[in-house]
Structures are given as structure tokens and as C-alpha cells.
Amino acid sequence: MPLDIRNIGVVGAGQMGIGICHVCALSGRSVHLVDVDTEQLDRAMAAVDHYLGRQVSKGLLTEAEKDEAFKRITFGSDVAAFKDRDLVIEAATEDEQIKKGVYKEVCPHLKPEALLATNTSSISVTRLAAQTDRPEKFIGMHFMYPAPMLDLVELIRGIATAPETFRIVEDLVLKLGKTPVSVEDFSAFIVNRILMPMVNEAIYALYEGVASVKAIDTAMKLGCRHPMGPLELADFIGLDFCLAVMNTLNEGLADTKYRPCPLLVKYVEAGWLGRKTGRGFYDYSGDEPEPTR
């Protein structure tokens, strides 16, 4: 196995994939980002340039450091380009079948010693690893969103993950300037197992008429010193993602306390997914977000 990860591949040019590329490039690693949607790749390229530029404007990077980091990232739609990668991180949609399809395409192009990681936030790492040709070299590597801003990376061993795989990836996380925590392979791991039921309970409070959107968010911000209220946070994360995690918890742990709130289900069915669609528990069409209930 490679003792030091220098060449990294990332699958999925969504917000998580973009953030992971950003972090890895700033640490001096070569990164290749792959997505089947070429228009999304163009958006990803512009987004990385934008986020690096913001760091320059804040005095966190020099213009020269920004340019060097951006040059380390390449973009493409062919997974065959991963043939020289030491590690490939899958950051596809939080859908088990989509992720399994990614591994089927990627694995034949990896060198034998290459490691494979998933950025899943809730799906069994053991189950995903079993769909690859290298379960002992497979690990969960869950970056928080947004990856450039948050320091935590959850490292999840599947039942077959080799100790050496864990050690190498843990070392990489430290070199990326992040803090790794070791997590057992249970549904939603640590952060989302605790966070999403809180968000779901806030939605239940709204659904049952306990309080309004604004009141719930204000209470949690002022009463618990949370930087964002739970409904505001749900909109920021994406209500479809919140529902996916709650469904994973509900199915994986078989406890009624993880049942998704019917109101969350309705919002997702309506396409009200939060900030990314312009409407969720808040309406984002105006100058300031306005509660929708």
C-alpha cells in the first residue's frame, strides 16, 4: 500500500466533491475530479476557483498559492484517468445503488495497491466494500459539509478494512489539516446519528403545531447557542438528504424514534428541498429568507 497519499481521485462534482478537491489541493496533493455530467464539471471548476478566491480576499491565501492549488486539480468524465491514483474518494449521491454502480466502473481502472474510500454519511461501509474488488483497502471517509470549513472527518472501518488502510488514511486526514475520529460501522455513524434525529424532532414540533418555524429556530439558537436553528440547518443541508439519513436510521436500527416526520416527507415530495431549490422551511426568493409556515 502507498505510505503517503499524493495522487487522489474524487468521484462526484457536487458540493461535497468540490469541497474535498479544494481541501486536498490546498494540502499539496494532485486531485482529479470525475463526473459524468460535463456541465456539472464546468460548475465545479468555477466553484473551486470562487472558493479559493474567497480565501485570498480574506487573507488566508496569497494569489500565488491560490493559482498553485487550482493547477493541482484536473477535471474529466472518464474514470480510466484514475489508473495512477493512490486513493479514490467516492462522493456520489447518498444512494446505495448509485454508489455500487460507481465502484463497478471505477475498480477495474485502479492499480492493485490503490485505496478506495466512500464519503457516505449513513450507509454501511461493510456493505459498500463488499461490492468492490478490494474490501480490505476500502474505508469510510466522511467529510463534514462544507469540507473546507469544518475540521472533522469520520473514519469508518468496514468489517474487512485492514488496519494498514485505516492507518494510512488517518495519516492523510491529519496532513489535510483535519481531525479524524474513529467510528464503528453503524447507521449514520456519530454526527448524523445525533444531528438528524434532532432536526427530525424539530420538524415534528412544527408538524404538531408546537411552534412556528421562526420560533423553533430562535429557541434553539438562543437557548442552546446553536449557530443555526434546526430548520434553517435542514434547509442548508438539503431536506432530501435529511430524509435519506432518517430512512437509513429507521431501516438500519428498527426503532420508531427514527421514523421520518410526515411533514419532511411531504416537503421532499413537493420538491421543497431547501436552499438549493429556493424553498424549504424558508422561502429564499427575496432579499431575506421568509418562513413558509
Name residue 282's beta-bridge partners: 291
121, 122, 124, 187: the active-site residue:
121
Q: Are 34 and 76 in contact (CB under 8 A)?
A: yes
Q: Is 225 left (phi over 0), alpha (psi -120 to 50) or beta?
A: left
154, 187, 200, 232: the active-site residue:
154
124 is catalytic: no
Cα separation of the two ends of the chain: 54
Name residue 138's beta-bridge partners: 116
22 is catalytic: no
Distance CA 281, CA 109 (A): 43
90, 119, 142, 232: the active-site residue:
142
124, 187, 192, 200: the active-site residue:
192
Residues with a catalytic annotation lie at 121, 142, 154, 192
